[in-house]
Amino acid sequence: MKYFMATLSMLFMGTIAAQNIKGKLVDETGSPLEDAGIFNKTSGQHSHTDGTGQFVLDRTSVKDTIYFSRLGYATQTRVVNQADLQNPLTIVLEESSISLDQVVLVSKVDALSRIVDVDVKTNPVKSSQEILRKVPGLIIGQHAGGGKAEQIFLRGFDVDHGTDVAINVGGMPVNMVSHAHGQGYADLHFVIPETIENVNFGKGPYYADQGNFNTAGYVNLKLRKSLDKSMLSTEAGQFGTRRFMGMLNVLDNQNSNAYLASELYLTDGPFESPQNFNRINILGRYRYALPGDQELLLTASHFTSKWDASGQIPQRAVDQGLIGRFGAIDDTEGGQTSRTNFVLNHSKNLGAGKSLNTMAFVSHYDFELYSNFTFFLEDPVNGDQIKQFEDRLMAGAKTVFQNNSASLGDMGFKYNAGIGFRYDNVDDNQLSHTLNRQELLERLAYGDIDEVNSYAFAGAEFKSGQFTFEPAVRLDYFRFDYIDKMSELYDSRSEEKVAFSPKFNTIYSPTENTQIFLKTGIGFHSNDTRVVVANEGEEILPAAYGVDLGTIIKPVNKLVLNATLWTLFLDQEFVYVGDAGIVEPSGKTRRMGLEVGARYQPLDWLYLYSDANYTQVRSTEAADGQDYIPLAPDFTMAGGVTLGGSQGFSGGLSCRYIDDRPANEDNSIVAEGYFVADVTLNYSVNNWTFGLIVENLFDTEWNETQFATESRLFNEPNSFEEIHFTPGTPFYLRGKVTVTF
């Protein structure tokens, strides 16, 4: 015990004795700048400003050279003098155009995310569907009328709707555990694109603050805390598309500000049976800040959506001329969903580089989806339409303590620790056989779910010379409760499980323009509660074991290159298939891949980017030739070019490519790849912007989502297994007018 107390004493004494420089960063109006980077070129130490613009940079000496940088502001350099170590600094950054010059490759595991932030700032997302495409190597596809969450592909995973990617908005989880349609279901349509500040992400299971579903990676969307200007926008285009969006400043004074944002989106889509899609989003955000002390953010949002869908169609029906590519076998598919969120974020500056950050949320969600994947395979009279429904209440909280100015002997030292919980109460989670979205023919599954996940994590950062070591550990506890309402008796079953997830990352930064990293860690995704209780706790939290070896270099100020070799092993890809109400294990799997990327800005008004990803993925328990993972992509590529500035003409071209991939375990059925390009053209004058958006510029005939499905059409004597697909959008033109004030 005395050795433990002595160690604690050394830590706190080191914290007190550490020499540091502190202060705040503000813009030209005096407003604090959050998440600005402070980098000591001499020692390699780094820090970031908090929500009130405050920072502490430890292990700083006289004559050290310090960089102060933030995207959208000119980088400032300062040589430290004795007075800087004694008195807090106030650094004013001048606004400038977004540039790769403003990126410093500090020794952080999320360095690539900060670089890709330039992509977001130079070419903002135009729709909620496009948000996730900002993550290099992430591909999405829609296959149910626009209102259903997108199918996600990343690192050789067909993630379905989120099983292996943890997604958050402002710290609030988006993934739905034990969802009626699929485990980890993540619907981002409640996010208004213009409210996004940046897209933070990480690949692999290497982040202690990320828990469930963080196997292939995580994505965290950060919302704007305030608006520079109010904005109104209207959009109209082909297929009956109309969009109206507004963001209004409603309060702006010295310590507080607030804004409201809303969106109405309507479209019929290119399908022969109109989608009749409509979506309404409303968001309000209030911020109260005391510089150098604390910050409070209150966010309230509501989203509702309804739609009809043509669903996935069999290739043979198109080949035989029974329907066109945009036709339907069952056009009574569709659904409705809504989500209401209340989120509180609070950060407290405890002084001397210490802070306490708390997030709490409450969310009410409902979901109703009608689908027909097999047509008349099971019921040759009424058809195979299914209904999936749930009514959910989520609540959770997380608190993280951070110390950025500790020291341990001659070694720089930072640490953090956090605790939190999430509770999901899901009523009437059901799978039913229906007819024409009206008649209930048979209940296939029906029950109530209660799921609790409490967790704790801790991590540290040790810096010695040009090396940074980041050990971390996470502990998760789960309790699963299910009441089967189809049982004649009260059938309630429960299971519990604990997951232990260690991580260790190493970064070597010989210069501010070079980073070499080795990441290792264990993550997991939970299984559906119905799977857990049905299998008496077997394979509740299958683990994922990952290793990344890579580099990011900036050979010149206007060029950034990255490359990563990685591998990931999963104990079990074992999920609940909501469409069929069955358990479908696929055993242990292995993935290995190579990722490369480049960003180049030869001129202030010209920005180019590209990412390519190759993955080999196999089941390790199946025989050769039978070990393919259905729909797992082996090669994807995306890139684009952005031109222009804030006034006059500007625009951009973006493209994405996905290779052919196996649709079943023996690769006898192949999902066809595609290449699609989109373009935007804008003209800005004063506070007005007039724009054109073209999706699928070359009118490519492509399949957005594809599945190997066994189905039978009406009056067919036999069933067939083949590709069933949702056609991708054809040439799609929209016009847009935006005014700021």
- pLDDT (mean) for 43-67: 81
Q: What DSSP character marks residue 353?
A: T
Tell me the two tokens of residue 61: 């000496």
* Nearest alpha carbon to residue 501 among 534, 543, 549: 543
- pLDDT (mean) for 342-350: 94
CB-based contacts of 439, cutoff 8 Å, min separation 6: none
> Mean pLDDT for the chain?
89
In tens, the pLDDT along 61-89 reads 888 888 888 877 888 888 888 888 888 88
What percent of the chain lies above the pLDDT cut of 90?
A: 62
Tell how strand 217-223 and strand 165-169 pair up.
Answer: parallel
pLDDT of res. 269: 94
pLDDT of res. 99: 77
Distances in Å between the Cα of 288 and the Cα atoms of 13, 48, 609 are 34, 20, 37
The owner of tokens 């155009």 is 97
Answer yes or no: is pLDDT of 233 > 90: yes
Do residues 132 and 166 make contact, with C-beta atoms less than 8 angstroms apart?
no
Answer yes or no: is pLDDT of 333 > 90: yes
- pLDDT (mean) for 654-683: 94
pTM for this model (two decimals): 0.91
**Type of residue at 209:** D
In tens, the pLDDT along 615-643 reads 999 998 888 888 898 888 999 999 999 99
Q: Which of 56-70, 106-120, 171-185, 397-411 is the most confident on average?
A: 171-185
> Environment class of residue 394 by beta-carbon count within 10 Å: exposed (0-12), middle (13-18) or buried (19+)?
buried
- pLDDT (mean) for 127-135: 80
What DSSP assignment string belongs to 544-597? EEEEEEEEEEEEETTEEEEEEEEEEEES--EEEETTTTEEEE---EEEEEEEEE
pLDDT of res. 10: 39
Lowest average pLDDT, out of 134-148, 254-268, 372-386, 703-717, goes to: 134-148
What the chain holds in terms of domains, given with CATH numbers, is 21-96 (2.60.40.1120), 110-203 (no CATH), 217-480+493-740 (2.40.170.20)
CB neighbourhood size of 457 (10 A) = 23
- pLDDT confidence band for 729 (50 / 70 / 90): very high
